[in-house]
Amino acid sequence: MAAMAAALRGLGGRFRWRTPAVAGGVRGAAQGAVAGQWDYDLLVIGGGSGGLACAKEAAQLGRKVAVVDYVEPSPRGTRWGLGGTCVNVGCIPKKLMHQAALLGGLIRDAPHYGWEVAQPVPHDWRKMAEAVQNHVKSLNWGHRVQLHDRKVKYFNVKAGFVDEHTVRGVAKGGKEILLSADHIVIATGGRPRYPAHIEGALEYGITSDDIFWLKESPGKTLVVGASYVALECAGFLTGIGLDTTVMMRSIPLRGFDQQMSSLVTEHMASHGTRFLRGCTPSQVRRLPDGQLQVTWEDHTTGKEGTGTFNTVLWAVGRVPDTRSLNLEKAGVDTSPSTQKILVDSREATSVPHIYAIGDVVEGRPELTPTAVMAGRLLAQRLFGGSSDLMDYDKVPTTVFTPLEYGCVGLSEEEAVARHGQERVEVYHAHYKPLEFTVPGRDASQCYVKMVCLREPPQLVLGLHFLGPNAGEVTQGFALGIKCGASYVQVMQTVGIHPTCSEEVVKLRISKRSGLDPTVTGC
């Protein structure tokens, strides 16, 4: 029967040997247990954003579902609960600490708005961290409750494939369990990369797996890397008053629009973050007083530099969490260069009933909402009779640096590379948020640009927004761009006054015109 099912599946991939789930979210264990061949209809490995979304959706569609999740402690010993990177060591604690940093600036604004706050106001890391950690713990618990409510079985075990339908789970105490499933989804995500070749890196450094869980302030910090993780961490550390340095080998925010990226780091530099550009660390060692002495090569001058820090944070990329999965036992192919799992547009791996979603997959954006949507759509295709594929095009995102950078669609470079300089029109503006005026904040880096095809009606290819609340601003435009918005339609959209987002619908100056893009007046 399994052979027949496989054969049917081959005929277009839509025809399932399971009858569709009954309506109303009733558990379909009986249906699912056709022939009682497997323990579960769906086994999800990894309880992060994508895995949980997929599991919950499948359960809602009446299937028998299990999630296995296990957090290997970081080299520093940091561990956390259910929910994956986003909840524990990513988006959530990051955004909360970003908010803490923003509040620092707003407190400095406050006297200009009439609030009699005695300056300067000191910041207490312990208090912030405890509040953030408590919130994360409440989310861990919330995820447990959600799985329970939807009758998804949860196992806190480390999983490895035994064969293509069976996974062995090993609990903390060493106890083992065998779980079999008709469909298996791998959603184990990734972990920060340690530059193991650098002496002292692993021994003395921390990563984003640790920073949000520190009980004590990291103090004077060196952040190594130029990723958004590096810049976001350096941004909030600076914002809460810590002496913070970013060391980067080459360009910031590779893959993002480079003009915007430069403005992001320019803003950070003008607000106190130090930058060591063109430098790579060569050694970290602990001094007798407990401080860390970092030695680096400055590739511009060819000289060696040294500095002492309380904390060294590596933000030099992430590696997929595939090593302990024994993927070879199941025959799941990975990329030889990245170790990420290879999938097709249906998220299927080289083994047709094994899927992978989220950060563990080759070529996917490493973002919570894409993993969530991919997981949900996958469950709907598997158990809900849907044929909707995840569309990874025009995915918006926002970098939560002190001045936030939101974008969707193509960077200017990419648009030019694809369409040619002559076929691309870029509209742009330097604007001043109204709220910046009263406290006299510098708005030099508040900038928006829209990348369009030049030919009327000038299809919008990409939008790039640097300014306060960039995430809130960008989301709606992502819908517009998804709907095929043209520059003409953007110009027909009435602004909301006074906001920063209205600057997008007021973009009248093209780069090609050479005119001053500074917004004046209302």
Question: How far is 366 from 85, CA to CA, in rounded Å?
Answer: 11
Q: How far is the CB of 205 from its own copies (least distance, A)?
A: 24
Q: Does 248 bind its own copies (CB under 8 A)?
A: no
Residues forming the active site: 497
Question: How far is 312 from 219, CA to CA, in rounded Å?
Answer: 10
Element (H, E) at 43: strand 40-45
Site for its own copies in 474-493 (CB under 8 A): 474-480, 482-485, 489-490, 492-493
Q: Does 115 bind its own copies (CB under 8 A)?
A: yes
Q: How far is the CB of 501 from its own copies (least distance, A)?
A: 4
Site for its own copies in 400-439 (CB under 8 A): 406, 434-435, 437-438
Spatial CA neighbour of 154 closest among 169, 144, 139 = 144
Q: Does 221 bind its own copies (CB under 8 A)?
A: no
Which x/- pattern, by CB under 8 A, does the window 311-340 give for its own copies?
------------------------------
Among the listed residues 152, 201, 240, 424, the single contact to its own copies using CB under 8 A: 240
341 in Cβ contact with 358 (< 8 Å):
no
Q: The tokens of 77 are what?
A: 């010993």
Q: How far is the CB of 366 from its own copies (least distance, A)?
A: 12
Question: How far is 471 from 404, CA to CA, in rounded Å?
Answer: 7
Question: How far is 147 from 67, CA to CA, in rounded Å?
Answer: 9
- Which amino acid is residue 189, in one-letter code? G
Q: Does 118 bind its own copies (CB under 8 A)?
A: yes
Q: Does 185 bind its own copies (CB under 8 A)?
A: no
How many chain residues touch its own copies (CB under 8 A)?
95
Pairing of strands 176-186, 40-45: parallel
Q: How far is the CB of 395 from its own copies (least distance, A)?
A: 5
Among the listed residues 65, 96, 222, 452, the single contact to its own copies using CB under 8 A: 96
Q: How far is the CB of 313 from its own copies (least distance, A)?
A: 19
Cα pseudo-dihedral 36, 40, 41, 46, rounded to 10: -160
Q: Does 116 bind its own copies (CB under 8 A)?
A: yes
Question: How far is 22 from 81, CA to CA, in rounded Å?
Answer: 33
Residue 69, CB-side half-sphere exposure with 13 Å CA sphere: 26
Q: How far is the CB of 361 from its own copies (least distance, A)?
A: 15
Question: How far is 182 from 176, CA to CA, in rounded Å?
Answer: 20
Among the listed residues 14, 26, 79, 124, the single contact to its own copies using CB under 8 A: 124
Stretch that binds its own copies, among 311-319, 378-386, 388-396, 413-421 (CB under 8 A): 388-396
Please state whether 514 falls in left (phi above 0), alpha (psi between -120 and 50) or beta: left
Among the listed residues 83, 218, 235, 409, the single contact to its own copies using CB under 8 A: 83
Q: How far is the CB of 434 from its own copies (least distance, A)?
A: 6
Site for its own copies in 5-64 (CB under 8 A): 49, 52-53, 56
- CB of 172 or CB of 215, closer to its own copies: 215
Q: Transcribe 250-303 into DSSP letters.
A: S-SSTTS-HHHHHHHHHHHHHTT-EEEETEEEEEEEE-TTSPEEEEEEETTT--
Residue showing tokens 């379909």: 28
Which x/- pattern, by CB under 8 A, does the window 458-477 give for its own copies?
-----------x-xxxxxxx
Q: Does 494 bind its own copies (CB under 8 A)?
A: yes
Site for its own copies in 151-170 (CB under 8 A): none
